[in-house]
Amino acid sequence: MLNACATALTDRLLSKFPTAQAHGAVYIYGFELSLSSLAVMGSVFILSCLCGAVNTSITFSLIFVSIRLFSGGYHAKTYGHCFILSNGVYLACLGTAHMIETLGVTFVCPVMILLSMVVVFALAPIKNNNHLISDASYQKNRNIALIFTTCEGLYLLVAYFFSFMLQIVCMGSTTMTAVAVLMIVPKIKERRNKYE
């Protein structure tokens, strides 16, 4: 269904701009990715409404999408699996953030943020063998990932140390940790495959 929608959108686009015919497959992939991302963000928003925590969906989406888009990491094999994984990651982040806040152990938040920043700085971007990019794009993605990570990490650290919006700090720290874990997973798989 996602492919059918992406193909229809691409056909519509190409009917308006026929000179872009040679890039049809790229447009289909771009539309699939965009529609999939919108579906995930929409479902995360709905889940946050059901959980009574709307602001967490905004925090999650801003941090998860902005860093992960440029840092890369684990990719599910299908868009359906990606949808399930992303929603599962959101619920895990929400549950962990709630536990941190409820148990009064918010002191772990700056540690999580700093460790996540170290992982992103060390590994970003993770190369995806299914979607190879040029060296210039690789460096550009790295720079953007580091900028987002630095800005968001510093914002969360300042908010934590001034006891400002602790719910957002807890959600932000668990989200950054999730991004870092999703970057480490392919590296572990890569190392395991190397020694098999």
Reported as a single tens digit per residue, the pLDDT across 141-163 is 899 999 999 999 999 999 999 98
- Alpha carbon of residue 61 to chain centroid: 7
**Interval 36-58 mean pLDDT:** 90
Check residue 6 and give its pLDDT: 75
User: If we measure between CA atoms, which residue out of 38, 61, 35, 33 comes closest to residue 48?
Assistant: 61
Domain range holding 90?
2-194
Mean pLDDT of 188-195: 78
Residue the block writes with tokens 């992960």: 68
Nearest to 174 by CA among 126, 121, 120, 108: 108
Would you state the pLDDT for residue 98? 96
15-38: per-residue pLDDT in tens? 777 766 666 677 777 777 788 888
Angle at 130 between CA 41 and CA 150, to 5 degrees: 50
Burial of 88 (0-12, 13-18, 19+ CB in 10 A): exposed
pTM of this structure: 0.85
Residue 130 confidence (pLDDT): 65
Percent of all residues in the chain with a pLDDT value above 90, rounded to a whole number:
52
Residue 196: what pLDDT? 66
Task: Look at the chain and report how many structural domains it folds into.
Answer: 1
Q: What is the pLDDT of residues 97-107, one digit of tens each?
A: 999 999 999 99
Cβ count near 115 (within 10 Å): 14
